[in-house]
Amino acid sequence: MHAWEIFQSGGPVMWPLLGCSFLAVVVILERTMFWFGIRRGRDHRLAGEILDLASRGDWEEVRERTENSCDFVIRVLVSGILHREYDMGRAMEAEAESQVRMMQRFMGVLDTMITVSPLLGIFGTVLGIITSFKMLGMTGIEDPRAVTGGIAQALVTTAAGLGIAIMSVFPYNYFNSRIEKAAHEIEKYGTSLELAYERFLGSQGNG
């Protein structure tokens, strides 16, 4: 049996399931490219250098070193440095929230596809069973082939819904783990920057 025949045997519920699979694939590809770009843009060495420069108060050097950086940690640190005379902590927190929101983009869509797809599969199963019983009542047991169409519809939609959810849940959990790791890195470097700035202020006071 060809793929199109299998699709048709699933009944009308296969169309929304096809839409769910399309959305899931698009989001997974988009997020994969996003995290690939994040990985390419990371610069752990530069982040350490910024902390060292901040402890010495060399703000002009920080500006020059970070001018073309697309590292999300660097952006948070620079935001704190730019607002160091007002509220470094709140500035970094605001920028961190902005960066995390970018990382969480479309994750709600993927989560919805994971939840809705099996439910649509169950809905198709119920419709298939209803069709089977209806045909059974009309033809009796003399013609079992009239009943198998509804059973096939029930099985195909269930398998399709579960397949979409299974396909989506692994990248969904992976992306969430990357978000948690990124948030932890932001918090770690942000705390380190505040401590470095306090050392600089202390050295200025002693001087």
- Any residues with CB less than 8 A from the CB of 164 and at least 6 apart, and which? 17, 20, 21, 24, 113, 114, 117
Helix (H, G, I), strand (E, B) or coil at 57: coil
Q: pLDDT tens digits, residue range 52-80?
A: 999 888 888 888 888 888 899 999 999 99
pLDDT score of 94 more than 90: yes
Higher local confidence (pLDDT), 202 or 164:
164
Would you state the pLDDT for residue 60? 87
Residue 206 has a pLDDT of: 59
Q: Is the pLDDT confidence value at 99 over 90?
A: yes
Q: Each residue of 39-64: b (16+ CB within 10 Å) or e?
A: eeebbeebbeebbebbbebeeeebee
pLDDT band at 84 (very low <50, low <70, confident <90, very high): confident
Contacts of 165 (CB under 8 A, 6+ apart): 113, 114, 115, 117, 118
> What pLDDT score does 67 carry?
85
User: Which H or E run includes 104?
Assistant: none
On average, the pLDDT of the chain sits at 87
The residue with tokens 């692994």 is 170
Residue 50: pLDDT band with limits 50, 70, 90: very high
For the ranges 123-127, 130-134, 141-145, the maximum mean pLDDT occurs at 123-127
pLDDT higher than 80, residue 5: no
Q: Of the segments 54-68, 79-93, 97-111, which one has the largest average pLDDT value?
A: 97-111
Buried/exposed code over 162-187 (b: 16+ C-beta within 10 A; e: otherwise): eebbebbeebbeebeebbeebeebbe
The tens digit of pLDDT for each residue in 6-16 reads: 777 778 888 99
